[in-house]
Structure 1
């Protein structure tokens, strides 16, 4: 009599259906994190996009505006490595939800602040929210990435860049016409984000519990001294990128208003174009890095914008828009590659590395914004862009980065 027993699948070998379901869930998690990154960065972008309005309402100097950026970015910078280190050792599934809640409180305070001191407090709360969000969200994206770490990092970061791009646009059409109190409306987005992140936190906690084995980290074979030097080089490259980005995000609207006599709304639209190009650049940075190596992407994305930044201070209005599109598109592709490169250098410390580099990104941006505000008050907004034009020349430092396993020889 024929054996009619149905063969059972071997334990540990997932069926094609279950494997497909896992992949679909991972894509959904990455999409959810990207959407929440969009929400988080829309809310923090509303802060900088509201600077012209706050400048007029509170009679702020450029130095005071720079200090607001420092309060936001400096808080995020100091706390992100600490948050990353703590969550590496003591994972907390709902930390993302709490971080989004802090950002919501910061927005509500910003909308109702009676004085400049309360504006600084609101900016700091938004910074705390970002400090909690970025390291843990980056860890979740990597956990759901499979082996396509660059692609996952790009999709995660493009949500943030899209949020940065949408913030000035929303500010132009909502905050500027309706006044500062309308900033509170964006707190509704935070509630949506908190609901999504609550579910993402549950997935991540379950992912950690049910994972039977962790794939061993790929050893790069580099001595500790080389790793330290390389991390330092990457930090200088982050400085180059974010100092220039800070000059655009904090003062580009003032540059356009002063030089080309644009209205605030027209200047915000120009800022949106730059930030939209930056979001597009992030999409390409990670996948290209997965194919050709992150080292090559870092090299081209920073040094490659130098001709455009040098030309920008001399361009008319049309070419200013064109040049900033190329600057945003190329320069923004660097950060996903830098984060993945650093995580490969220090395997097993995903939260710490994400915290350090997102923290550097915020901290450098805040310090640069404050310093450039002093320069603008002492000289002019136009001089700021003459000065910053040479920053991408530091991209030559990428030549000293070692080749890792994912980089072609």
Structure 2
């Protein structure tokens, strides 16, 4: 049984401790980014409506969110070193085969399977990554940033292939998942034979502040899911940009997310986790307004980057703070903050799809400008993790 939160006694640099987990997280979350990157091509090639397109995002969301609580409990009770590598491989296989599926129901089921693979990866990976990071928010930001890198690589790498070969090009991205899953499994085997000395710090699990933090993460996820799903369509259908420039806008948003994640880790080590979360929540408001107000698709790329930065400043901090609130359940905390809460926001995407069908994707961006207010209010209710 795995209990308590491990704090590494390790003199290596943060990158040396976290590089395997950062790379694995990047590959895993590439397939989360591949779904919104491919959705415009499903719409354009197969004449799916906005609601149907939102349903594809919902399929991936359901798969990656609903199993998370159970998988988090399992990760806290048993090591199951194969869970994260197997989940990574399944995530890539499901998302890769979706573009080849001939019917909407089969596409939907494959994206659901991909989401389940992502759900299997996060709790175990988050548990072991925190053990490697110790109490460093900067180190945890490297792990979290790996996921953000995967997100932005998806549209950057996939869009040219999808433009040239069509939506079936998603199958080209199956091999990296299988290969990285094997590499991670071998790494886990080596770690089990050569464990690094660790000190377990127990403590009282604080469920009330953890639930407030989860709500903050869900609000952030609603915004991120809405931007990831409709930003390229907004560029193409409202600003009159090309498909390639629409994919570039999504890429810029994810690149800003990487910068925001790394910035948030450093801010948290200097200013504290609560203040960092509050800074990110407040900064998201003017960034979203600037994105919606821009009349030019090229100028709008700057606003897209600013939204990515602001939205992701709290990302790694939310993961670390969740594990601080639940020191005896690091897998559960990681599963919720990295998986359930992040994915739960996707459940609201079909609602945004209905709004887009009636008033266009520009209406979605207008509505999202008001959502950060909820994160600002909830952030004021978060408890100091050092105060019992």
TM-score, normalised on structure 1? 0.87
Select the residue among 133, 151, 154 that pairs with 1:164.
151
Count residues in correspondence.
378
Select the residue among 353, 356, 370 that pairs with 1:390.
370
> Given that residues 14 and 139 in structure 2 are in contact (C-alpha distance below 8 angstroms), is that contact kept between their aligned partners in structure 1?
no
Q: Point out the more displaced range, 167-176 or 24-33.
A: 24-33
| 1:2-401 alignment runs, 5 A limit | 23-24=11-12, 27-148=15-136, 150-206=137-193, 211=197, 214-217=199-202, 219=203, 227-317=206-296, 318-394=298-374, 395-401=376-382
Distance 1:104 1:389 in 2: 33
Distance 1:289 1:246 in 2: 24
> Given that residues 99 and 131 in structure 1 are in contact (C-alpha distance below 8 angstroms), is that contact kept between their aligned partners in structure 2?
yes
Distance 1:108 1:341 in 2: 34
Deviation at 1:255, TM superposition (A): 0.6
Distance 1:74 1:159 in 2: 22
1:18-70 CA-to-partner distances (Å, cap 9, x unmatched) read: x8xx5449844510111111111222312210111111222111111111111
> Given that residues 319 and 334 in structure 2 are in contact (C-alpha distance below 8 angstroms), is that contact kept between their aligned partners in structure 1?
yes
> Given that residues 79 and 359 in structure 1 are in contact (C-alpha distance below 8 angstroms), is that contact kept between their aligned partners in structure 2?
no
Q: Structure 1 residues 367 and 35, CA, compared in 2 at 3 Å: closer, same or farther? A: same
For residue 92 of structure 1, give the secondary structure of its aligned residue in structure 2: coil
Distance 2:212 2:13 in 1: 36
Q: Structure 1 residues 319 and 181, CA, compared in 2 at 3 Å: closer, same or farther? A: closer
Q: Structure 1 residues 279 and 331, CA, compared in 2 at 3 Å: closer, same or farther? A: same
Deviation at 1:204, TM superposition (A): 4.1
Distance 1:240 1:161 in 2: 18
1:213-247 CA-to-partner distances (Å, cap 9, x unmatched) read: 63333x47xxx7xx333223212211221111111
Distance 2:14 2:260 in 1: 23
Q: Point out the more displaced range, 348-357 or 97-106.
A: 97-106
Q: Structure 1 residues 130 and 375, CA, compared in 2 at 3 Å: closer, same or farther? A: same
Please report the RMSD computed on the Cα atoms of aligned residues, expressed in angstroms.
Answer: 2.1
Q: Point out the more displaced range, 347-356 or 167-176.
A: 167-176
For residue 147 of structure 1, give the secondary structure of its aligned residue in structure 2: coil
Long gaps (5+) in structure 2: 1-8
> Given that residues 93 and 202 in structure 1 are in contact (C-alpha distance below 8 angstroms), is that contact kept between their aligned partners in structure 2?
yes
Structure with higher Rg: it is 1
Q: Structure 1 residues 257 and 391, CA, compared in 2 at 3 Å: closer, same or farther? A: same
Long gaps (5+) in structure 1: 1-18
TM-score, normalised on structure 2? 0.91
